[in-house]
Amino acid sequence: MTGPFEQTLSPKSHFDTAFDISATAATSRPRQTLKSGNAFAVVDSHGDIGVVAGGVDGIFHCDTRHLSRLEVLIDGAQPLLLGSNMRDDNTLLTVDLTNADQYLENELILQKDTLHIVRTFFLWQGVAYLRLGIQNHGDVKVCCTVSIVFANDFADIFEVRGTRRAERGKLRSPVIDLQSIVLGYLGRDGIERTTTLNCNPRPDRIGSGTVSYRVSLSPQSRRSIFVSISCNKPPIAKLKSFFEGLKEASREIRAEKRKFISIGTSSDVFNQVLKRSLNDLHMLTTLSKEGSYPYAGVPWYSTTFGRDGLITALELLWCAPHVAKGVLTRLAAFQAISNDPANDAELGKIVHEMRDGEMAALREIPFGRYYGSVDAIPPFVLVAGAYAERTNDLETMKALWPNIEAALAWIDGPGDPDGDGFIEYARATSDGLVNQGWKDSQDAIFHADGNLAEGPIALAEVQAYVFAAKQSIALCARRLGRSDCAAQLEASAQKLKQRFEKAYWCDEIGMYALALDGEKRQCRVRTSNAGQVLMSGIASPERARIVADGLMRPQFMSGWGIRTVAVGEPRYNPMSYHNGSIWPHDNALIAMGFAHYGFKAEVDLVFQGLVGAASRMELRRLPELFCGFRRVRGNGPTRYPVACSPQAWASAAPLALLQASLGIRFDLDENRIRLVRPTLPPFLDMVVLRDVRIAENLVDFAVYRCDQTISIEILRNEGDVEISIVD
């Protein structure tokens, strides 16, 4: 650490320290994020881009920054901030500003708060739309110059993250006409990238970095200026107007919302948390030709991540099964069909990360299509089986079956190179990820003495995923008439269960070991990975109880959630990326494991902790992660400075927690919805679920808590669906 605000923090994709996300300065203005399709924007609270230090501002499209500066000035001065608000559905940022006092030769010529300046900003189909509304609230005429200052560097997203490049492409000279400016860049990959600014009405002055309007406003009069910023579109392309584009963007969001179950509760705070989660998920979901896919997070991971998409789909399966279908279909389309060591690809593996930027095309980073994750393949099979059970969509499963077989072949073949029955990982080249589980920081897998584990490494939770995947897909195989295959899968899962208990249980730490190293030695470290093991059902009930009790102790449970590493372990650091922080999705998966074994009191404690954390976060939004400091009365959780916010699997966590608490199960063969040992945490007395789909039938029902008793009320039942509580 070189200064009070300079530190290096581990990113999702961690190649030793080459691709760390750097935090080099304090953020002097809060940031807001917007996303639409393959474009996203990071702007500050004033609506500016690149004006103050400490942010990663910009308008980005397909991993390239298409605008690095955007600033509005009134007579050359920055306006004063009145307030900044993001619309609930994340489509529109509105910023209210006013003018500062202006003097000419010590004489006040414009009193502050005379002009009301409203900046509205949204993204749609690769275009950023800006409306600047100015109204004179004074009693005399005001004449002023409104300037829009802009610039761009066409930086790759990894350059913005802090990676240095030896050589860049060439910036083109701006092409300027009466109402537009085209900024261009010829990348070293041979691709021409452009940013086009169109202004309406025609500016009084237009130059390579500034657009100016001379504005004359009578008392109470107003004027609007519109600017569109389009990425990689021809200058002659006909764009929607500001209001047409906003209408279309809002319509898309409403259509996406209708695909989800509607949820209402007795808690205003939890309703706000749910609303924020759902709106963030709608924003992150990107329509591809294979279907809808939840991009991992903004700003760093606004792209397809295999593991993230699958975990998000699993968290949402009960309330939005269409997400799983889109995720499975897209990942099947990009499943590895050959061995490629440079990309850590092997036949049957599921893609880890996909990038479209210049650096990926030039192999300056190995993420064009990178397959270096060991825990995307088993969840692919698991989610496929769970999706079939939830929907009985056998046509989709028939189409995916070759991909499922290829994934299973990898699990039983290249994924287990030494034939000991456990999946393990080791990077194929020195460019690959050192660690290839979800905790992929370079220092995340270690022994009790603090020394880093040497590979190949077999993570505990990955073996549990395999167990759950084989059991889940066996049920689907039977539905497809593949009884022999189903029997083999079930037998293989049971053998794995026996081997796992012997190899991973560690009496010394009272839970499952983090991993086995290359010499088959246990990494005897108390970590949240043992909690994720429970989700699969691979643990014996007795040992599951021991693990749950351990995770509820203060060394793990901070009050806001369960830490990734227990206090007292050698690499524990509550401010680290993976070694002591709190990840909402990790907690949600652990809670799902608790629910599997009937540990509902523990589910409620995790539920309360995370909702409490979200209630103290900006916008009631759970970020990718936050620091693992102990909860202190009167204080909120401590933010992790470069966490993605929003992040898909964190946004899905409250929905997964609700499902774990209610214990909702769908039995399509019996046309029945069961609530298995349902509970509600103390902050919830009622939950109302509407538009719950089972097969082609829709039902609405309410769940009530009175002391320790749970009851249900059927509000609508189309199709004679049975809804029952099961102990």
Q: Where are the domains of the chain?
A: 30-251, 259-662, 675-726
Mean predicted confidence (pLDDT) in 6-28: 44
- Give the model confidence (pLDDT) of 597-649 as tens digits: 999 999 999 999 999 999 999 899 999 999 999 999 999 999 998 899 999 99
The two domains 30-251 and 259-662 share their CATH topology (first three levels equal) = no
- Give the model confidence (pLDDT) of 250-271 as tens digits: 998 888 889 999 999 999 999 9
- Give the model confidence (pLDDT) of 131-166 as tens digits: 999 999 999 999 999 999 999 999 999 999 888 999
- Cα separation of 500 and 507, whole Å? 14
Cα–Cα separations (whole angstroms), residue 198 to 37, 49, 176, 229, 235:
21, 18, 10, 7, 9
Give percent of the chain with pLDDT exceeding 90: 88
Mean predicted confidence (pLDDT) in 392-408: 97
- Give the model confidence (pLDDT) of 450-509 as tens digits: 999 998 999 999 999 999 999 999 999 999 999 999 999 999 999 999 999 999 999 999
Residue among 433, 326, 314 at smallest CA distance from 379: 314
Mean predicted confidence (pLDDT) in 535-554: 97
State the pLDDT at residue 7. 31
State the pLDDT at residue 321. 96
Question: Structure tokens of 334?
Answer: 């990009």
Q: Are 378 and 466 in contact (CB under 8 A)?
A: yes
Query: Which homologous superfamily is 30-251 in?
Result: Glycoside hydrolase, family 65, N-terminal domain (2.70.98.40)
Q: Rounded to 10 degrees, what is the CA torsion of 54, 60, 62, 64?
A: -60
- Give the model confidence (pLDDT) of 81-112 as tens digits: 999 999 999 999 999 999 999 888 888 888 99
Question: Structure tokens of 270?
Answer: 């939890």
Residue among 9, 91, 92 at smallest CA distance from 56: 9
Statement: residue 127 has pLDDT above 70 = yes
The whole-model pTM stands at: 0.93
Statement: residue 24 has pLDDT above 80 = no
Q: How many CB atoms lie within 10 A of CB 455?
A: 17
Mean predicted confidence (pLDDT) in 292-304: 94
- Give the model confidence (pLDDT) of 379-389 as tens digits: 999 999 999 99
State the pLDDT at residue 52. 86
Indicate the fold that domain 259-662 takes in CATH: Glycosyltransferase (1.50.10)
Statement: residue 397 has pLDDT above 80 = yes
Would you call 166 exposed, middle or buried from its count of C-beta atoms within 10 A (0-12, 13-18, 19+)? exposed
Statement: residue 15 has pLDDT above 80 = no
Q: What is the mean pLDDT of the chain?
A: 93
State the pLDDT at residue 20. 54
- Give the model confidence (pLDDT) of 413-425 as tens digits: 999 999 999 999 9
State the pLDDT at residue 18. 52
